[in-house]
Amino acid sequence: MPEYALTVEVRTHPGGATVVVLAGELDYHTAPRLHRAVERTPETLPLVLDLALLSFCDSLGVAELLFAFRRTQAAGTSLALAGTTADVARLLAMTGVDRLLPRHDTVDAAVDALR
């Protein structure tokens, strides 16, 4: 994977949520990709951010996770994280973001919890 690589895939889950799958590094260089993807998701559906393939996240990445949270809250829907790696989970705990954003092992578990 090239330096500063992040892939963002947006799909609709059969359970009625939008899933944004992130793979690679979420940082200063790549955070705008997540921002644009979240802005384009339907506001009426709950949002799941699948972080299972996210290898790195910095403070700007955390800021984008919080942007997604605020956007769902403003729209009256909800957000959950799925598949956080140990490193990302540690960052979320250190910043206190883990208290705002519920985490689940799988996308299916996150979608079920959002219903």
pLDDT at 52: 97
Asked whether residue 98 is domain-assigned, the answer is yes
Please state the domain count of the chain. Answer: 1
Alpha helices in 1-115 (DSSP H): 31-39, 59-75, 86-95, 107-114
> Sign of the CA dihedral 37, 42, 90, 52?
negative
Distances (CA, A) of 78 to 4, 81, 90, 107: 29, 11, 22, 14
For 26-41, the pLDDT digits (tens) are 999 999 999 999 999 9
Question: Residue 49 is part of a domain; what is its CATH number?
Answer: 3.30.750.24
Look up the domain containing 55 and give its range.
6-108
Mean pLDDT of the chain, nearest integer? 95
Provide the pLDDT for residue 115. Answer: 85
Residue 1 covered by a domain: no
